[in-house]
Amino acid sequence: MATVSAGLPMIAIVQQNDIATLHAAQVLSVFARRSVTIPPRCRRMASPAPTRDRVPAWLRWTALLWLFVWVPAYWHTWGPANFLHLCDVAVFLTCIGLWSNNSLLLSSQAVGSLLIDAVWALDAASRFFAGRHLIGGTEYLFDPNFPLWVRLLSLFHVLMPFLLLWALHRTGYDRRGWITQCLIVVPIVVLSRFASTPETNINFVYTDPFFHRAWGPAPLHLAAVIVFLIFVAYLPIHLLLKRLFPPPQNSAIFS
């Protein structure tokens, strides 16, 4: 009897352990049957970052090679002040954006270039086919005093919109592109006033391209140019790109 009574506590402990194990198994089975919903934002954060470059390596090297050819040719033909043209600034920043896979730079230059390059192409086509310019700005393209091969380099205006749209398809459109371009255009326009003359009229800082006149004193005219670019030339493009392209999947990769 003493032996049996001594074994009873051990039996009770084993039975309690079995009950606890059974209860834990039941709880785990309940959780296993439940579907766990992960918020979309958490899924995006948990998803692995893309391992491949958004811009192919061959295009990145082509952009770098283009700068090595284009910069010396333009510098020798038109001088360093010529690079203050907003379309030329866009070439530099686009090439840097392609090389570094930087969607913010590519987005800002898409905002600043799509409409401007389209107008440039229309003006050049009007001069070529109809013999007259629409608003001007492409007169140098038909000036025989400059080497033909250097003038033909300016045809980048025709290719840039397609290149930038393709790049945004790869990287996404950064919603900060419009603000970034606004911050870029203000100092460039102001510097253009000091670096150009009424004859060169870089970025139309002396007279506008439509009425060929100055809108008041220099500060007022520069303000008019900046406001026109930001709200007439850039803002509609920004709104359009927001509808056409998603934001970058991982902004840290492109920052």
- Looking at residue 3, its pLDDT comes to 45
CA dihedral 72, 103, 245, 160 (to 10 degrees): 0
The 10 Å CB-count burial string (b at 16+, else e) for 37-66 is eeeeeeeeeeeeeeeeebbeeebbeebeeb
Query: Does residue 10 sit in the same domain as residue 116?
Result: no
In a domain, 50, yes or no: no
Give the separation between CA 39 and CA 203, rounded to whole angstroms. Answer: 48
Give the separation between CA 174 and CA 249, rounded to whole angstroms. Answer: 10
Give the separation between CA 142 and CA 150, rounded to whole angstroms. Answer: 11
Query: Does residue 150 sit in the same domain as residue 240?
Result: yes
Domain count, the chain: 2
Give the separation between CA 67 and CA 81, rounded to whole angstroms. Answer: 16
Query: Does residue 21 sit in the same domain as residue 74?
Result: no
In a domain, 79, yes or no: yes
User: Tens of pLDDT along 183-228?
Assistant: 999 999 999 999 999 999 999 999 999 898 999 999 999 999 999 9
Query: Does residue 7 sit in the same domain as residue 91?
Result: no
In a domain, 115, yes or no: yes
Q: What is the block-wise mean pLDDT of the chain (255 residues), using blocks of 10 residues? A: 45 47 49 49 44 77 96 97 97 97 97 96 95 91 95 96 96 97 98 95 94 94 97 98 92 41
Query: Does residue 170 sit in the same domain as residue 220?
Result: yes
Query: Does residue 108 sit in the same domain as residue 64?
Result: yes
Query: Does residue 189 sit in the same domain as residue 100?
Result: yes
In a domain, 216, yes or no: yes
Query: Does residue 32 sit in the same domain as residue 106?
Result: no
Give the residue among 184, 186, 188, 182 at the shortest CA–CA distance from 230.
182
In a domain, 47, yes or no: no
Q: pTM score, two decimals?
A: 0.77
Query: Does residue 22 sit in the same domain as residue 82?
Result: no
Query: Does residue 6 sit in the same domain as residue 100?
Result: no
In a domain, 45, yes or no: no
- Looking at residue 37, its pLDDT comes to 52
- Looking at residue 232, its pLDDT comes to 96
In a domain, 129, yes or no: yes
Query: Does residue 67 sit in the same domain as residue 32?
Result: no
To 10 degrees, what angle do helices 177-195 and 86-100 make?
A: 140
User: Tens of pLDDT along 237-254?
Assistant: 999 999 999 999 865 433
Query: Does residue 118 sit in the same domain as residue 169?
Result: yes
Q: Which domain holds residue 22?
A: 2-36
In a domain, 43, yes or no: no
Give the residue among 65, 93, 108, 249 at the shortest CA–CA distance from 170.
249
